[in-house]
Structure 1
Amino acid sequence: MSFSSIAAAARPRYGLSCALAALCLSYSLHANANTPPKIGGAPVTSVTAAHYYSFQPWASDTDGDKLTFSVSNKPLWASFDSSTGRLSGTPIPPANVGTFTNIVISVSDGTYRASLSAFSVTVRSLVNSPPLISGTPATTAAVSQPYSFQPAATDPNGLRIVFGISNKPAWLSFDSTTGRLYGTPGATNAGAYPNILISAYDGYFKATLPSFAISVTVTQASNGT
């Protein structure tokens, strides 16, 4: 057999091998290709000082790769969760009042990164009003009989209220979350307890009930007669 006939017979096989190799290479490249992640969401762009701020973008990855979030130009008053992309915090007046610009939240699949458009958060000044507190406490208590008083309180700005007390009688307990004053006096607690003050505090201003006194008396029932 001549050389030319051998070459002619070999060409189809060689061409087929090349075609298969190219197909395998193309499939391999396609199978190993990584698709960039996607990220979206509309950031909250304003908040009133002393109020809670929160924004969390959505993100997805076609390849199912683990995603990690990052942030640039994060305001000092905010925290950032690299697992969820959540930006949150409470700006404190007056130090944090103003506009915080060029905040960028990104997500990465380890190979590619996608980012939201840069955004700003404006912290508005807090025009604060003191909390309101009301209620009329009982001014007498009987030995061995439960005593209880709880004021009503609200805050015009919607801030969380914490209650405080001054000159609390030792036989009474006080709940700083609800403002409730309660307890049961014993025989040794008979007497007068003046100048008790209950206040409501929103973190900036305090409102206080008028001072009151509690007189603990021994009754026939408590004396066993």
Structure 2
Amino acid sequence: MGFPRLFAAGVIVPAALVGLLAGPLARLAQADTVLQEAGTIYPAESTYPFEGTAGQQITITLDSTDFDPVLTLLDPSETEIAFNDDFGGSLNSKIIITLPEDGTYTVVARSFSGEGGDYDLVVRASTEFEITFAEAEALVLAEDYPAAIAAYTQAIALDPSQSTAYLGRAQAVLGQVYLEQGEAIEGPEDIPLEARELVIADFEQAAILLEADGSEDWALSLREQVEVLRNLESFN
């Protein structure tokens, strides 16, 4: 899976409405680790149980250079309660969640394509940034874009090195525009000037951070989209 482009064939797509935001893997402060494993998936899947408590805020990461990782979290009744593929401008996966009940949870680590390989899996306590970022994501899903923008801004204040928060805020701005104007938005030229300026600023900062993390392709994609906005005849 790849980064959601906002512009295709001259028409803007409301990326804030179509799924989980991608951004670079966070360089986060150390937190309490619940589970840590290094293993090999062959051919496609491994499972890891851990004990959790209601209200516990955890982050699960699955990293690999051999395959495209996919994460699923099952609750004590073995019902899927969280899923992620491609987080943070890479193919690696990450889940940030508040556990709903006491019991034994199961992390399912698998390969998107079915290919095997080595990986690192970590289950740990969430950082303050991650908790705030997850709240912002939930507000986007609820289409409460003003509150989401405020939450992303708070996340940026907690850790300004995370491109995910800048991208999230930009997409929340676009989501608010679409919610308010709907079919009146046929292309990027229809986005109000103030909203365009906000999106440009956040995309530019995210591109800088992505490039610093080694995600040159993702940074280039953002800069191309910035150029689309800057080159609009109505932009001044």
Normalization by structure 2: what TM-score? Answer: 0.23
Higher helix proportion (structure 1 or 2): 2
Higher relative contact order (CA 8 A, sep 6+): 2
Normalization by structure 1: what TM-score? Answer: 0.23
Higher strand proportion (structure 1 or 2): 1
